[in-house]
Each structure stands twice: as C-alpha cells, then as structure tokens.
Amino acid sequence: ITSAAGWLVISGFRRKQSGTAVPEPVIAPDAAALEELKKIKADDLIAHSRTKEYYYRISGCIRFYIERRFGIRAPESSTEEFVEEAIRSQVLEGRHINLLKDFLSACDLVKYAGTDSDAGQADEVYRTAENFILETRLSEIDSAETQKVKA
C-alpha cells in the first residue's frame, strides 16, 4: 500500500513537471482595458494631486488596448506617429481616429505641456477612453469569426 501511494505521488509530480499545465484563459483586449480603467478610477489619482500619473496611465491603457485589439504598435510612438499609423492601417473608422487624436492630444497637454486639469476634465477623458473601447471592441460575431479563422 505504501509503495502504491508513493507511486501515485511521484507520477502526479512528474505529470506536473511534464508541462501539462492548464493554460491561462485569454482575456479579451476590451475586457482587460475596461478593467484597467476601473483600477485607474479606483486609485483616485486626481483627488491625490497625481494628475500627470492619471493621464499617463489612462493614455497608456488606450495605447495598449489598441495594440492588442488592432495590432498597431502604439506604446513607444508619439501621438502624431501613432495616429498616422492608425490612418495607414485602415482598421479604425474616421470618427474613431478623430476621437483618438483628440483624446491623446488632451492627455499630451497634461503629460508634457504641464496644462492643469480638474476633476471634470479628468472624468471627461475617462468617459472618452471608455466609450472608445466600447465602440471599437470586437462584437461576439466578429470574435466567433476570428476564432474560426484561427482553428
């Protein structure tokens, strides 16, 4: 009995080491971005006079979302370079490009030009980011089609 129990423990240990780990679930770009926006809001950075950090994080969240959702490399590009790439790639509608350009420009003013921002402006930037994600996320139909192509 002892040897049988030992064999079960060892075989279970070997199975764990053999790489048969359960894959982690893939989180959709929109879900991850919306979750990150909630974290940014919960941190209440504006109330703690951490305005630049708020704008860095919220613009970074959108840039990362765009990279994952559309495949446009955004985090290291300037706003102008990024918008030009978004136009060239033709993955965003014109109104979304304009929305993105206005959003990133507003963030840049606070991040780089030292423009002041109050709670109302910060809330507007938040709503713009949230709406951008909601308007550009994959629909369930698009997502199902993407999964079929990958299979």
- Report if residue 8 sits inside a domain: no
Owning domain of residue 114: 27-137
How far is residue 2's CA from residue 110's CA, in Å, rounded to a whole number?
68
pLDDT at 151 over 50: no
What band does 73 get if pLDDT is binned at 50, 70 and 90? confident
95 or 11, which is more confident? 95
What band does 8 get if pLDDT is binned at 50, 70 and 90? very low
Reading the block at residue 90, the tokens are: 């033709």
Q: What is the pLDDT of residues 127-140, one digit of tens each?
A: 999 999 999 998 75
- Report if residue 144 sits inside a domain: no
How far is residue 83's CA from residue 88's CA, in Å, rounded to a whole number?
9
Which amino acid, 120? Answer: G
How far is residue 77's CA from residue 117's CA, in Å, rounded to a whole number?
24
- Report if residue 151 sits inside a domain: no
Q: What is the pLDDT of residues 76-127, one digit of tens each?
A: 789 999 899 999 999 999 999 999 999 999 999 999 998 999 999 999 999 9
Integer distance in angstroms from the first to the last C-alpha of the chain? 46
pLDDT given for residue 7 in this prediction: 46
111 or 144, which is more confident? 111
- Report if residue 6 sits inside a domain: no
How far is residue 142's CA from residue 149's CA, in Å, rounded to a whole number?
11
Q: CA torsion, points 116, 119, 123, 124, in degrees to nearest 10? A: -50
- Report if residue 66 sits inside a domain: yes
pLDDT given for residue 145 in this prediction: 47
> Mean pLDDT, to the nearest integer, of 25-54?
95
> Mean pLDDT, to the nearest integer, of 144-151?
44
Reading the block at residue 81, the tokens are: 């370079």
- Report if residue 10 sits inside a domain: no
Q: Are the CB atoms for 30 and 75 separated by under 8 Å? A: no
CATH number of 82's domain: 1.20.120
- Report if residue 121 sits inside a domain: yes
> Mean pLDDT, to the nearest integer, of 55-78?
90
- Report if residue 2 sits inside a domain: no
pLDDT given for residue 147 in this prediction: 45
**Domains in the chain: how many in total?**
1
Contacts with 97 (C-beta within 8 Å, 6 or more apart), sequence order: 83, 86, 87
Angle between helices 51-70 and 29-42 (to 10 degrees): 170
